[in-house]
Amino acid sequence: MTGAGRGIGKAIAARFAQEGANVVIAEIDGPAGSAAAEELTAAGVVAVAEEIDVAEPDQVQALVNHVVSRFGRLDVLVNNAAIAAFPYKANLSELPLISWHVMMRKNLDSVLLASQAAARAMMATAGGFIVNISSVLYSLGVPGLAAYQVAKGAVVTLTRALAIDLAPYGIVVNAIAPGWIDTRHNFETMATDEWKKTFIENGRIPLRRPGAPAEIASMVLALSTPDCSYMTGQTLFVDGGLNLTL
């Protein structure tokens, strides 16, 4: 699991651990990754943390090699690592090119690199599952968030492309587009009266509540089992119905 030191990624790691999976937490924030792994280990499961920048090809390949060496195989890759949209908020006419490149490197290139390395390992064991975390924002029109939206939209397109190319090897690739989820990145925005009025009181989110990280985790788990082995290249909105109100 990439970016699994906190929030959605941590919830995904915990959900897989509950099912008895050996979990590897790949996290750029070393202390956060280690803390998450220690929590899972204390609960009696096998969980290890690896400090890694998933936008660095050599680091990604080394991690996959380590996973295969330790556990014998790699069955599931969850590409969750990303950087948030709001620190890079800017009108496209003023967005610095460096900000665009950082967003693409961290939110898109990382998905490709991890998927490539994982796919090579999965080919040796006749298949596996890749789940990419996109965002409902890719389908919305939100001023100032274009770089994030383009990156997350490209994750959806990449998911489709990977599904086609990896299908002959028994590798299933799907994506999830979360909506407003109760994480630290969204806490300040969701605490405002404006957000509550728009999304909850006025029903922009039809279910009239934010999602919990555990709800994303349950869907990721479902997409990583034989029960969903005949669905590939798809993106599922887990957003309380937000995409229905566009």
Instruction: Name the active-site residue from 88, 148, 169, 230.
Output: 148
169 is catalytic: no
- Give me 236's structure tokens: 């599922």
Distance CA 141, CA 117 (A): 33
Torsions phi, psi for 231 (to 5 deg): -115, 125
Torsion of CA 159, 119, 229, 26, to 10 degrees: -80
For the chain, give the secondary structure using H, E and C.
Answer: CECCCCHHHHHHHHHHHHCCCCEEEEECCHHHHHHHHHHHHHCCCCEEEEECCCCCHHHHHHHHHHHHHHHCCCCEEEECCCCCCHHHCCCCCCCCHHHHHHHHHHHHHHHHHHHHHHHHHHHCCCCEEEEEECCHHHHCCCCCCHHHHHHHHHHHHHHHHHHHHHHHHCEEEEEEEECCECCHHHHHHHCCHHHHHHHHHCCCCCCCCCECHHHHHHHHHHCCCHHHCCCCCCEEEECCCHHHHC
Cβ atoms of residues 145 and 137 within 8 Å: yes
Active site amino acids? 148
